[in-house]
Amino acid sequence: MLQRRTQKVRRETTRLELLDAAVRVLTEAGCLGCTFAIVAKEADRTTGAVQHHFGTKSDLLWAVLEERLLPVLTMEPPANQGGQPLSNRCAAFVEWGWRIFGNPAYPVVWKIILAARDDTLLQHRLAAWQREAIDLAVDYGEDVFRDIAIERRDVEALTQFCSSQLRGLALSWPFRHDPHFYEEQLKMLSMALEQLVVNKIGERSAEYRN
């Protein structure tokens, strides 16, 4: 039993090392340069090890996205915000979103998305992941704003807005390394989100009055 457990840990460790190596290779060489041989060399492993863990390049790229760069579906939800001021709730939601997009390696995501234009399987995986991730984020958003007079369609619109802003901010990573810059940008996004929520509350109140 102990030997099987040790073997399992060893396999998991090797997989993580290969994924981290793939992220580094993708960062430097893009998808075209991300071959099994180069990833194996970067991880100080054999090409056979990469083949064993991932099978195809499409499987490798998907695993990089799902496990290292966009682990949304396995992330903990934002902390319970019941009774908190609106500003706190907005800050918590933005902070949760930045846990997704705030990885310095995030620009690699777009390299993979662009490469997926020629990979039908990867396209389908990305489309399914996006639908599931958006639904999950909206579910979390509903929890954050649960006792506020806005509807799910409002939460979805606010979630999409935050995602768009955070995605754009994340693409600054190759050019901006000042933590203060990102802190200020996130603070402004929280303030903008708060104002949008207030606007949505006003819109819903007007609908009910009419």
Domain count, the chain: 2
The pLDDT value recorded for residue 201 is 86
If asked whether residues 74 and 54 sit together in one domain, one would say no
Supply the angle between the helices 47-54 and 36-43 in degrees, to the nearest 10: 110
| Residue 149 pLDDT level (bands cut at 50, 70, 90) | confident
Cα separation, 39 vs 49, in Å, equals 10
DSSP 50-92: HHHHHSSHHHHHHHIIIIII--GGGSPPPPP-TT--HHHHHHH
Encoded amino acid at 209, one letter: R
Count CB neighbours of 99 within 10 A.
14
Predicted pLDDT of residue 150 = 85
170 CA to centre of own chain: 10
**Tokens in use for 37?**
């041989």
In this structure, the answer to whether residues 120 and 37 fall within a common structural domain is no
Q: Which amino acid is at 61?
A: L
Quickly state the pLDDT bin for 124 (edges 50, 70, 90).
very high
pLDDT of residue 166: 95
Show which of 16, 40, 61 is a domain's final residue: 61
Q: Are residues 32 and 85 in the same domain?
A: no
Closest CA to 67 of 124, 117, 17: 17
CA distance 129 to 90: 25
Lowest mean pLDDT of 16-25, 30-39, 122-131, name the range: 122-131
Same-domain pairing of 28 and 95: no
Q: What is the pLDDT of residues 80-106, one digit of tens each?
A: 777 889 999 999 999 999 988 998 888
Label residue 4 by pLDDT band (50, 70, 90).
Answer: low
CATH number for the domain harbouring residue 134: 1.10.357
Say how far residue 178 (Cα) sits from the centre of its chain: 21
Domain of residue 157 covers 70-209
Residues 45, 119 within the same domain: no
- Residue type present at position 10: R
Band of the pLDDT at 210, cuts 50, 70, 90? Answer: low
pTM equals 0.83
The domain that holds 45 is classified in CATH as 1.10.10.60
- Same domain? 137 vs 176: yes
Structure tokens at 34: 């991300």
Confidence of residue 147 (pLDDT cuts 50, 70, 90): confident
